[in-house]
Structure 1
Amino acid sequence: MPVYVTDKPLHLTSHDVVARARRLLGTRRVGHTGTLDPLATGVLVLCVDDSTKLVQFMERDSKDYLAYISLGAGTPTLDAEGPLDREEAVPPLTPEMVQRTLDQFLGPQQQVPPQYSAIQVNGQRAYAAARAGGQLDLPARDIHIHELRLLGQYPKVQDAPRTFAPDEAGRWTPAERGQTFTLPPALGEHPTLLVWARVGSGTYLRSLARDVGAQLGVPAHLSGLIRTRAGRFGLEQASPLDQLAEATPQDDLSALQLPRLEATPELAVQLRQGKRPVWPEAGRFVVTLQGQLVAVADGDGQHLRVVRAWA
């Protein structure tokens, strides 16, 4: 039950990547664990064949990003797709002022999604309404932002670093040697913040850029975005999309960012038979134990089910 990690290229949608993966891997059963916008690059986790059952659990995983937030310029899409619809002068900002502003967005909160998004309201996609010149009333959604770090401020996005390397904690920071990323064409020369972010599922970095700008008193847009981690997988493990067929897949248990339990042979048999054991020792399954998802591995490591365990 393979799981593949790829580095999504610029300008492709996540659906485009899935379509190419189907051709490269020779299967129709491919799903991803979290959409990346066309102007974003980085980690996209693909679940193939029976591993598509894991998507419902893995799409909840936290994710890390490098985000370029350009200030003083707004766009309808909230990113570099444009066009610019608002420009204002940016007042002097110290790193301390910017970090204090970023800190205000930490923790659980509500966020209004972008109008140019795939969210549906009464069966209508928000982006379809926006392209037709309208707007949907998008309700704010519960999100959780775990960490925001200002890595630098630059007179324009063209001056911001493109080469990064991960530290021991997995946070990517500018480096002389490492991985070099490609950003979308800039919409002009605007003061730009480089931010490292760790966020919970459902967080829109485009909306965060908009809201950070608003808190600083100026319009803003996301001029570049790189996902450096999704769940257990970082860019270090990602394969180029055109080399996906030669990549080594991950097994399903290693893909799950969940607590793990080891099953006894007796319990593994009961789980396979669809029984409801009264003790929690378990193995190669996904279970809900007192409301918490747990990965459970049996002796042969070949079976995966979704069960509810009772303590």
Structure 2
Amino acid sequence: MARAEEPTAGKKRSRQQRPNRPPPKRYAYTSPPSRETVMVTRDRLPEDENAWQNAVVLIDKPLEYTSFDVCGKLRGALSIKKVGHAGTLDPNATGLLIICVGGATKKVNEYVAMDKEYTGTIRLGQATPSFDAECEVTQEMPWEHITDERLSEAAAEFLGPSQQMPPMYSAIRVKGQRLYKAAREGKEVAREPRSIHMSVFDVQRSAQGSREITFRVCCSKGTYIRSLANDLGLKLGTVAHLAALRRTAIGGVCVDNAWQLDELVNVVKTRRWGGITNLVEPSGGPPDQSETLMPAGNLGVTNATSAVQGCNGFNSSPLE
């Protein structure tokens, strides 16, 4: 007697009947990462692909990129899932962004806790809702009365420990909502001041009698330079906003030793290690074809910063 066919309802489809689906994304370099952290600088690259599984990468973040954008671009080039940054830089800012890859992501908090150095420009007499150039100028006040002597005195008053109110245009969460989202909706949210410390705040006019103030700041984590610009204006009896910002150092790690993002992505995609020719001289001149990038080797994080050459960190001289 022929066996009756089982009903097809609820029956699992055979492999041939299943719709075509793209294969899951596979991340490369799956062998165990090195126990030592590799510091990837302008003149040092990992000796092999697997070393990227425990790498700290120095990037000079380009203008208009978010810190998340930079992580995503490196994640795609390396095909490594775990990629994170050690301290956000706004899209309007440039400079040093430390990217931790693979096992090195465990060290993110170490870099976040380090003091930072910034340079930039503050514009007197004009205020914006975001305290920087992201928003249009909404208020103008006289600034011509401010002398160079008073400018230096006001900057010195910010040195040492203090309390700083975070700006509304920030990524801080209050009751589950990002402050910048509330700000863009025209809402003002109550927030608590934060303890910060500033060891250096050097200021000078970009030209005699100019409203443009160039500055250098060395400060603790959690310091908002946009808020500093706004507060400086108020202390001077006017208004001000941050016109330009560049992060030049984190701890003893200097932006001069960082990779340009597109250059490093190109190196990673073409898998050129060790003997790659230096793309740009530190002076910004044409490449010297005789100079090659050295393999980074295995550098512990404590030794990695000392391997970075040419950065004086927070011992550098004031603005001249």
Q: Give the residue type in structure 2 aligned to 1:219.
A: V
Larger Rg: 2
1:160-309 correspondence runs (5 A):
191-245=211-265, 246=267, 251-254=299-302
Give the SS at the match of 1:154.
Answer: coil
Q: Does 1:87 align with 2:135?
A: no
Match of 1:14 among 59, 63, 67: 67
Unaligned runs of 5+ in 1: 157-189, 259-311
2:30 aligns to what?
none
Measure the CA separation in 2 of the matches of 1:113 and 1:47. 26
Give the SS at the match of 2:88: coil
Deviation at 1:43, TM superposition (A): 0.3
Q: Which amino acid aligns with 1:226?
A: R
How many residues matched? 225
Distance 2:135 2:207 in 1: 21
The 3 A distance-change label for structure 1 pair 25 and 251 is farther
1:135 is displaced (CA, Å) by 1.6
Code of the residue aligned with 2:142 in structure 1: it is A
Decide whether the 8 Å contact of 2:119 with 2:214 is kept in 1: yes
Alignment counterpart, residue 69 of structure 1, candidates 119, 122, 130: 122
The letter of the residue matching 2:86 is T
Q: Does the 8 Å contact 2:75/2:81 carry over to 1?
A: yes
Q: 1:109 to 1:47 in 2, by over 3 A?
A: same
Q: What does residue 103 of structure 1 align with? A: 156
Share of identical aligned residues, percent?
Answer: 39
Q: Report the residue type matching 2:94 in the other structure.
A: T
- Distance in 2, matches of 1:255 and 1:16, equals 29
TM-aligned CA distance change 1:255 to 1:241, over 3 Å: farther
Deviation per CA, 1:128-186, whole angstroms, max 9, x where unpaired? 10111112112100111110112434379xxxxxxxxxxxxxxxxxxxxxxxxxxxxxx
The 3 A distance-change label for structure 1 pair 17 and 155 is farther
Q: Which has the higher strand share?
A: 1
Name the amino acid aligned to 1:78: F
Cα distance in 2 for residues equivalent to 1:255 and 1:99: 37
Within a 5 Å distance, the mapping from 1:30-45 to structure 2 comes to: 30-45=83-98
Q: State the Cα distance separating 1:17 from its structure 2 match.
A: 1.0
Residues 25/155 of structure 1: CA separation in 2 closer, same or farther (3 Å cut): farther
Name the residue aligned to 1:120.
Answer: 173
Contact 2:226 2:241 in 1 (8 A): yes
Contact map agreement 2:205 2:211 (CA 8 A) in 1: no
Residues 190-210 of structure 1: per-residue CA shift (max 9 Å, x gap): 711101111110000000000
TM-superposed CA distance for 1:219, in Å, is: 1.0
Aligned-pair Cα RMSD in Å: 2.0
What secondary structure is seen at the aligned counterpart in 1 of 2:205? strand
Contact 1:3–1:255 under 8 Å retained in 2:
no
Gaps of 5+ in 2: 1-53, 269-294, 307-320
- C-alpha change, 1:15 and 1:252, in structure 2 (3 Å) is farther
Query: Alignment partner of 2:97: what SS?
Result: strand
Paired residues of 1:2 and 1:251 also in contact (CA < 8 A): no
Show the counterpart of 2:285.
none
**CA offset digits 1:99-143 (Å, max 9, x no partner):** 110000001111011101000011011001011111211210011
Compute the TM-score of the two structures, normalised by the length of structure 2: 0.67
Shift of 1:256: 7.1
> What TM-score do you get using the length of structure 1 for normalisation?
0.68
Distance change (3 Å), C-alpha of 1:208 and 1:98: same
The 3 A distance-change label for structure 1 pair 55 and 10 is same
Picking from 53, 58, 65, the partner of 2:111 is 58
Change in Cα spacing, 1:89 to 1:80, as seen in structure 2 (3 Å) is same
- Which secondary structure does the structure 2 equivalent of 1:18 belong to? helix
Which range is displaced more, 142-151 or 198-207? Answer: 142-151
